[in-house]
Structure 1
Amino acid sequence: MKTSTPSSSIEDYVKVIYSFTEWQDKPITSTQLAQRLGVANSSVSEMVRKLKDQGLVLHKPYSAITLTPQGVRLALSMVRRHRLIETYLVKDLGYSWDEVHDEAEQLEHAVSDTFIERLAARLGNPSRDPHGDPIPAADGTVRMPSAHRMIELDDGHTGRITRISDENPELLRYLAAEKISLDADVEVRGRKPFGGALVVRIGSPGTSRDVDLADEVASALWIHSDSAHPGCRMAGL
């Protein structure tokens, strides 16, 4: 019996469910899923029932939504496609990092598995996309860096920027204008008085500078300590 190919809507749903929990342990709710996809709650409820019937998610009424091992495998396949395409758009076609998400959303459903694997080979099998998110390997392996949100770090913490959330294109443009990018050395200096901005020193010794970051910006930056080691997990585990 031939297995039917999942629809683009199903692919989008499992990818969003996976992405929501990639950097945190808290599962996604139906309301949060609707917000992320820009659809009505009723549409989410109908699709979640379909995903459950196909063995892709686990869900009970009024509870969070989690992927089954089968759902994780499909999600990782789509995440791999999306992030490889984003990487290609930035590296080879000159897109800026705030432009690639919507473009990749369109292309990821249209290309074949063969195209994706040839694209990966052309790019040198990169381990992360332009925003620092890990690119799953073809076998479902994901190497997650040990990193924490900048806003959660204590004063004096040092490390480097290993991931920048791509949820807000305007924030990405702001960071680009401020010359804040992946792999930049950082040191958390402390807060300005009365709940003010977080002061962060960015750059190597001799070229570093202090910048004031609003909480929204500090929440979008993930910092990796050089002493930490990346984790590794497999699809479905």
Structure 2
Amino acid sequence: MKTSTPSSSIEDYVKVIYSFTEWQDKPITSSQLAQRLGVANSSVSEMVRKLKDQGLVDHQPYSAITLTADGFRLALSMVRRHRLIETYLVQELGYSWDEVHDEAELLEHAVSDTFIERMAAKLGEPLRDPHGDPIPAADGTVLVPQAHRLSDLDDGHTGRITRISDENPALLRYLATEEIDLDAPIEVLGRRPFGGALVVRIGSGESRRSFDLADEVTSALWVHSDKVHAGCRLPDA
């Protein structure tokens, strides 16, 4: 039986399930969901059963968890809320990009749909948040850039940084200190011997610099290829 007013826990679960598959194709498992939410596996099992009963996920024992059409719709609504709030905090209130995630987690459950849509209009209907994650439109359309993890790119590859994972605030602060930001041109030069750091050149003109980046950094940076595709649209109910 579906509920017309999902709890904040349900909203958080469907948002995490959606976000896990946004930049890669593998569905999330119960253990991965528990790790991302910081809860016990038993708590995840109980909540997934509740989500399934409410028609928000498909799940069989020992298999991955996928969203139904209703779950997908709710997830996109929460992702839109979260990323618009993050964008507003950075652009209008002067927050830094490493501060906004936790604030948005609190606010996204508290504000009305009217507030969110007025915020979106105030911001000019942005297409991405401060970390480069796409913001779903009100109709459920999402434009997902064609991008790959920096760690997966071959020597000589060039492009622009299009997404920076917000999972680690300390990493975001490091990147800000080094002035590594969205849209910066980047070129892969090669890897240091014996599994060492990846050497890249970032920036253009006089600001162009070389960096030795550890795996934790290269796995958090996504580099844009030239094409953009329509990533997701609300499935039919």
Contact 1:29 1:63 in 2 (8 A): yes
Q: Distance in 1 between matches of 2:144 and 2:220?
A: 17
Map of 1:172 onto structure 2:
172
Deviations 1:154-192 (A, max 9, x none): 100000000000011111011111110000000000011
Q: Distance in 1 between matches of 2:65 and 2:14?
A: 10
| TM-score in terms of structure 2 length | 0.97
Q: Distance in 2 between matches of 1:232 and 1:11?
A: 21
Unaligned 5+ runs, structure 2: none
Contact 1:202 1:211 in 2 (8 A): yes
Q: Distance in 1 between matches of 2:36 and 2:232?
A: 25
Amino acid at match of 1:209: R
Identity %: 80
Deviations 1:118-163 (A, max 9, x none): 0000000000000000000000000000000000001000000000
Q: Distance in 1 between matches of 2:3 and 2:9?
A: 17
Give the superposition deviation at 1:3. 5.5
Q: Distance in 2 between matches of 1:199 and 1:116?
A: 41
Q: Distance in 1 between matches of 2:196 and 2:117?
A: 47
Alignment of 1:48-67 (within 5 A): 48-67=48-67
Map of 1:37 onto structure 2:
37
**Aligned positions, number:** 235
Q: Distance in 2 between matches of 1:56 and 1:16?
A: 13
Q: Distance in 2 between matches of 1:17 and 1:49?
A: 14
Alignment of 1:189-200 (within 5 A): 189-200=189-200
Amino acid at match of 2:228: H
Map of 2:223 onto structure 1:
223
Alignment of 1:1-237 (within 5 A): 4-225=4-225, 227-236=226-235
Q: Distance in 2 between matches of 1:153 and 1:184?
A: 16
* Structure 2 counterpart SS, 1:146: strand
Amino acid at match of 1:115: F
* Structure 2 counterpart SS, 1:216: helix
Amino acid at match of 1:9: S
Contact 2:3 2:54 in 1 (8 A): no
Deviations 1:184-234 (A, max 9, x none): 000000011111100000011343110010011000000002x32333420
Q: Distance in 2 between matches of 1:207 and 1:47?
A: 49
Instruction: Point out 4+ residue stretches in structure 1 off by more than 6 angstroms.
Output: none
Q: Distance in 2 between matches of 1:236 and 1:9?
A: 23
Q: Distance in 2 between matches of 1:104 and 1:127?
A: 17
Unaligned 5+ runs, structure 1: none
| TM-score in terms of structure 1 length | 0.97
Q: Distance in 1 between matches of 2:83 and 2:8?
A: 16
Give the superposition deviation at 1:112. 0.3
Q: Distance in 2 between matches of 1:224 and 1:117?
A: 29
Q: Distance in 2 between matches of 1:55 and 1:169?
A: 34
Amino acid at match of 1:228: K
